[in-house]
Structure 1
């Protein structure tokens, strides 16, 4: 569309920016349209871990949208996750590992393409989250780095010549420049502004907001609105790439190493990209040893609904089936229940059977979960992703498995003594209806910990729930702090 001698659209006057040289980098720009797939060898472990790190960032973007955070609040929350899991320093940074950071970003994007291309809903959600991440990076990027990226690409836009700009002077100036007492300054600003023509379908957001001049199917876009063209181009290219990937995906079916990983990753938006939760001291315990007699009271204050449901079922039936015992037992183990106290707890709970039957059929399994029998593995507690796994109905996530009426009744009966009211349910059910189950659980946490100073949008120190033990441990910490440093189990909750 342009002659080789013409300057590319969006190219600005050269800017001297100390430290912005990127000629030595394999990835010269922090921004990336991901046109080319990664062509390097990758270990299976790296394939999965880098994708999980990116998924944590995208899950935070989805969670922020579900919780109606402002753009500034969302950007801050996502930036925090990026600093932890997907660092991307600018070219001006003094760090030497810029290429390694961008290599990880490049690889993780394409791995998640494989995971999220398999249904229209997953593709839509992935495009929305990735487009938001690109926009945040675009706005955060240094001016010189951003201009260097824009000048490296051809966005297929027509620069508006001076005569055409003069022809539509009235329309363009009235739309983009508000009337001013100083007409000379207004006119000078108009003369300085550069305009580009694109088909109106490429800037639907500007058309919808009436922020662009339209003429015979062309949209006249000022340089101050050029980001709309860039964002739309990114989104359009990614949509097409995902559709193409979906057509090619069946070729992977024979690779038994990758399919389970991709299946696990595709559940990431639903479960908030969980991982094995660890305590603050690096171990799985919460810092205090629990006694068997403390569990019932703790379940009423600190347990997420999935574990509270298992506890109530155990107390009602004096029994849980194998997978229920495994899931709940590992949760209590990580919460700080020793193997000796666990045996006491389960023996008391299984009150309808004899000591002989308990010792023969259940004691071994309890010790096994603590790594004291069998292959002596230190089994972690199940995270939200595993609790929500397909087929996990009987011992799964209530927000996912319960029908709406039963869920609302269960929420009120479980948490009304902690301040949850019927007026809180529409907000929670809206999140459930959007399949944002971990965000709904986070909202319940916020409501039920209002007496500890938690407000809407706070989450768990700014994060959403991704693990039942994360929920319980943070709840105990809040109650302990509210009690002035004493035991959180000694605090009396008073509700109206």
Structure 2
């Protein structure tokens, strides 16, 4: 927000850059803040095209998750700020380490925004969610930006306001403006006049004075004009992009990427989690049962339970669970031992002929010898929908409400989850925020180990991958064990 003195530095703009002028300054980013009014006019590889979009999508997805988790504005800002520094950091003009570095950061930010425009312009629902998340990201960056850079950025745009400088005009409205200051519990001698449609939120809250179709806005409320303008311009730009998108249908390189991105946003999570960590230690077959009870997310707990009960899993269940265990740290020899022991009702000959090859194949030792990654939450949610008799999939999405509640209590009651927690979890499930429900379960079941509501799996981040859930759970247990050992040494 602006300080009282900042409004004096704003100058109403009488013109904006023309298309040709915008083109001539392509690649130049004087500010961290951006209204994204011109498309990227530079060459880019397909890899960068996708990578920039995925990095931005991680942030937007967590913003949407923050709303679903009812975080306060300060909590949302903190989480968003951490993710921005991790995936989409932008140096200020004062702190930038070299002009080229800051320009490259802003170029990636610019590119990622426009790629996601292409992915999310396809339906009204996607556009609505994208606009809300992007506007929130802009607000966070706006509040954290350097005040002088922020003023220069706003002065470079045209918001259609007029600074109220006339003594006669101020005098004729003296009583009304004083009354406005009382309502706001603040005082200001600086106002701008703008058409009331530019500040509908302030009009609804009665925080402006209206006369003749114009709203008189104090310096403390200037940001509302800017945020509303960002939102309305983005909405119009997305509608225009949607009309142009059919021209790209024949581009076989980009359409699959855009489909994947939009699909990832629909389930409320990043479309890719490419660095699923292992536990760091060798995992042996006999350890799996105990690890499942303490560290596995519900999807893997359910698969393990089905495997233990039926001594069998169907193809997609074996694939989902087998790749999860592989990334967790189960070696190929231990994996064969684990699955052979689990399929105890089969003969050695049948197991070797029908199942051993597939296990070796998933480890890249047979067939085309590809090193298959474990399935992410996005893949589990959107592909290979389970049918009757299947155990794979996401319980938060594919279980009935009754079965989900029963399963949660069965698997996690010993870790602190009880019936009082189910209402919040089921509410997020009903709203389609499955990853938020899973994240909340993680927080509850690790509450005894110091994880608080809002912490997520660390730094406020939501669960986006089953291995991410398990690895963080194992890490927390190790930290607790090391702290206990250290305290024992001190006592001795």
Structures share fold, TM-score greater than 0.5: yes
Question: In 1, distance between residues paired with 2:381 and 2:480?
Answer: 32
For 2:192, what is the secondary structure of its paired residue? strand
Aligned residue runs from structure 1 range 79-94, under 5 A: 79-94=81-96
Match of 2:29 in 1: 27
Question: In 2, distance between residues paired with 1:145 and 1:412?
Answer: 52
Instruction: Using the TM superposition, give the Cα deviation of residue 177 of structure 1 relative to its aligned residue in structure 2, in angstroms.
Output: 4.9
- Range 241-250 or range 465-474, more displaced: 241-250
Q: Deviations for 1:186-206, whole angstroms, at most 9, x for unmatched residues?
A: 9xx65xx22222222221221
Match of 2:174 in 1: 169
Segments of structure 1 that go 5 or more residues without pairing to the other structure are 1-6, 13-22, 181-185, 488-496
**TM-score under structure 1 length normalisation:** 0.87
Q: Deviations for 1:275-330, whole angstroms, at most 9, x for unmatched residues?
A: 34546xxxx53122122122122211111011111111222222112221111111
Question: In 1, distance between residues paired with 2:463 and 2:158?
Answer: 42
Match of 1:114 in 2: 118
Aligned residue runs from structure 1 range 271-310, under 5 A: 271-273=268-270, 275-276=272-273, 278=275, 284-310=277-303
Question: In 1, distance between residues paired with 2:308 and 2:268?
Answer: 28
- The CA RMSD over aligned residues, in Å, is 2.4
Verify the 8 A CA contact 1:480 1:486 in the aligned structure 2: no
Matched, 1:259 2:292: no
Matched, 1:440 2:437: yes
Matched, 1:357 2:353: no
Residue 240 (structure 1) aligned to one of 236, 239, 244: 236
Q: Deviations for 1:249-292, whole angstroms, at most 9, x for unmatched residues?
A: 2222111211211111113332521534546xxxx531221221
Q: Deviations for 1:449-478, whole angstroms, at most 9, x for unmatched residues?
A: 111111111111122111101111111122
Match of 2:17 in 1: none
Aligned residue runs from structure 1 range 4-23, under 5 A: 10-11=10-11
Residue 368 (structure 1) aligned to one of 361, 366, 373: 361
Residues 158 and 9 of structure 1: CA distance in aligned 2, closer, same or farther (over 3 Å): farther
For 1:221, what is the secondary structure of its paired residue? strand
Q: Deviations for 1:96-137, whole angstroms, at most 9, x for unmatched residues?
A: 211111111111001001111112111111101100111111
Instruction: Using the TM superposition, give the Cα deviation of residue 340 of structure 1 relative to its aligned residue in structure 2, in angstroms.
Output: 1.0
Verify the 8 A CA contact 2:9 2:151 in the aligned structure 1: no
Match of 2:20 in 1: none
**TM-score under structure 2 length normalisation:** 0.88
Residues 179 and 383 of structure 1: CA distance in aligned 2, closer, same or farther (over 3 Å): closer
Question: In 2, distance between residues paired with 1:10 and 1:254?
Answer: 46
Aligned residue runs from structure 1 range 177-192, under 5 A: 177=182, 190=188
Question: In 2, distance between residues paired with 1:176 and 1:70?
Answer: 26
Question: In 2, distance between residues paired with 1:472 and 1:78?
Answer: 23
Q: Deviations for 1:155-200, whole angstroms, at most 9, x for unmatched residues?
A: 11133333122111111122125799xxxxx9xx65xx22222222
Question: In 1, distance between residues paired with 2:26 and 2:350?
Answer: 70
Instruction: Using the TM superposition, give the Cα deviation of residue 484 of structure 1 relative to its aligned residue in structure 2, in angstroms.
Output: 4.3
For 1:459, what is the secondary structure of its paired residue? coil
Match of 1:472 in 2: 470
Q: Deviations for 1:64-102, whole angstroms, at most 9, x for unmatched residues?
A: 222222212211111111111101111112322111111
Verify the 8 A CA contact 1:293 1:345 in the aligned structure 2: yes
Residue 307 (structure 2) aligned to one of 314, 322, 342: 314
Residues 388 and 373 of structure 1: CA distance in aligned 2, closer, same or farther (over 3 Å): same
Question: In 2, distance between residues paired with 1:451 and 1:83?
Answer: 30
Aligned length: 458
Match of 1:328 in 2: 321
- Range 90-99 or range 457-466, more displaced: 90-99
Q: Deviations for 1:395-420, whole angstroms, at most 9, x for unmatched residues?
A: 22111222322222221122112111
Question: In 1, distance between residues paired with 2:184 and 2:343?
Answer: 79
Match of 2:70 in 1: 68
Residue 205 (structure 1) aligned to one of 201, 204, 214: 201
Instruction: Using the TM superposition, give the Cα deviation of residue 342 of structure 1 relative to its aligned residue in structure 2, in angstroms.
Output: 0.8
Residues 486 and 175 of structure 1: CA distance in aligned 2, closer, same or farther (over 3 Å): closer
Instruction: Using the TM superposition, give the Cα deviation of residue 391 of structure 1 relative to its aligned residue in structure 2, in angstroms.
Output: 4.3
Verify the 8 A CA contact 1:10 1:223 in the aligned structure 2: no
Residues 68 and 348 of structure 1: CA distance in aligned 2, closer, same or farther (over 3 Å): same
For 2:70, what is the secondary structure of its paired residue? coil
Residue 417 (structure 1) aligned to one of 411, 414, 418: 414
For 2:382, what is the secondary structure of its paired residue? coil
- Range 130-139 or range 256-265, more displaced: 256-265
Matched, 1:150 2:146: no
Verify the 8 A CA contact 1:271 1:466 in the aligned structure 2: no
Match of 2:21 in 1: none
Matched, 1:406 2:403: yes
Residue 55 (structure 1) aligned to one of 54, 57, 68: 57
Runs of 4+ in 1 over 6 A off after TM superposition: none
Residue 102 (structure 1) aligned to one of 72, 90, 106: 106
Residues 324 and 224 of structure 1: CA distance in aligned 2, closer, same or farther (over 3 Å): same
Instruction: Using the TM superposition, give the Cα deviation of residue 234 of structure 1 relative to its aligned residue in structure 2, in angstroms.
Output: 0.3
Residues 384 and 178 of structure 1: CA distance in aligned 2, closer, same or farther (over 3 Å): closer
